Amino acid sequence: MEYKPISKAVIARLPRYYRHLGELMEEGVERISSNDLSQRMHVTASQIRQDLNNFGGFGQQGYGYNVKYLYTEIAKIMGVDRQHNLIIIGAGNLGQAIANYANFERRGFIIKGMFDINPRLIGRVVRGVEILGVEELEKFIVDNEVQIAALTIPKTKAPEIADRLVAAGIKAIWNFAHTDLVVPDDVVVENVHLSESLMRLSYRVCSMQDQKAQKEKIEEEKALKKEKPERNAQT
C-alpha cells in the first residue's frame, strides 16, 4: 500500500470506523456499501469514500466494502495489529482504573508494569501487574521493550517523569496529567483530558439552551406585537 500524509482529522475518525466494522463482523456482515455504513455511522457516504480513499479505497464500485478486509487494513494503519508494551506511571485511582480495564489487551496494548512513589502501593498487584518503585523505571523500560507510557501522576510531577521516559527511549506518552509536555520531535504525546471533553459538552448543552431561550423570546415578542394592535383597536 502506498502511504501519503494523512490528515489528523481522518486519523481521528479511524478508531470509529474500526469499532463499527468490528461490530459488523460480530453481526456476521461480510459486505457493506458506503451508503449503509454512512447510515450506521451518521456521516455522509462521500465522507466515508473520501476517508477510505486516503488508504487506497478498499471498496469496489457497486459492490461495497469487504468488512473483514477493511477492518484488518484499518487495524494495520492504526498499528493495532501488533503488540504494544505499555507502562503506567502513577498507580493511584486513574492508573489502577486503566490497569483494570482488560479490553486494552484485546487491542494489543499489554500493560507490562506500573510505577509509583508511594511505599504503601509498591509491591501491590493490580490484575497481575506488580506496582514497582519509580526508581526502577529506566531499567524496566529497556528490559521489557516498552513503547508507550501512560502518565497518571500529578501535573507538577509530569514534566520530570516525561524527561526520564524520553531519556530511557520511550517514544509515545499517553498523558492524563493536566499539563502540556515538552518533548523532542520524535516523541508523540496523546493528551486525554476528560474535563476538557466535559467542558465541550457543557458548551454544547448551554448553547442549545441559549438558542431555545432566544427562539422562545422571539416568539413571545411576535405574539405580543400581534396582540397589541387588537387591544388598540378595542379602545
- Site of interaction with ligand NAI (CB under 6 A): 89-95, 115-118, 121, 134, 152-155, 157, 161, 176-178, 192-195
Read off the C-alpha cell for 228: 397589541
Q: Which of residues 48 and 161 has its CB atom nearest to ligand NAI in the complex? A: 161
Q: Which of residues 81 and 136 has its CB atom nearest to ligand NAI in the complex? A: 136
User: C-beta of 224: minimal distance to ligand NAI in Å?
Assistant: 47
d(CA 98, CA 96) in angstroms, rounded, equals 5
User: C-beta of 97: minimal distance to ligand NAI in Å?
Assistant: 8
Q: In terms of C-beta density within 10 A (0-12 exposed, 13-18 middle, 19 or more buried), how is residue 96 classed?
A: buried
Q: Which of residues 55 and 176 has its CB atom nearest to ligand NAI in the complex? A: 176
User: C-beta of 32: minimal distance to ligand NAI in Å?
Assistant: 34
Is the Cβ–Cβ distance between 72 and 58 less than 8 Å? Answer: no
Name the strands in the sheet holding 64-66, side by side, starting at the edge strand that comes first in the sequence: 31-32, 64-66, 59-60
User: C-beta of 101: minimal distance to ligand NAI in Å?
Assistant: 14
Helix/strand/coil (H/E/C) assignment for every residue in 149-187: EEECCCCCCHHHHHHHHHHCCCCEEEECCCCCCCCCCCC
Q: Which of residues 21 and 137 has its CB atom nearest to ligand NAI in the complex? A: 137
**Maximal CA-CA distance, the chain:** 93
User: C-beta of 161: minimal distance to ligand NAI in Å?
Assistant: 5
Is the Cβ–Cβ distance between 182 and 165 less than 8 Å? Answer: no
Q: Which of residues 190 and 210 has its CB atom nearest to ligand NAI in the complex? A: 190
User: C-beta of 41: minimal distance to ligand NAI in Å?
Assistant: 25
Q: What length is written for the chain?
A: 235
Strands 172-175 and 109-116: unpaired
Q: Which of residues 40 and 178 has its CB atom nearest to ligand NAI in the complex? A: 178
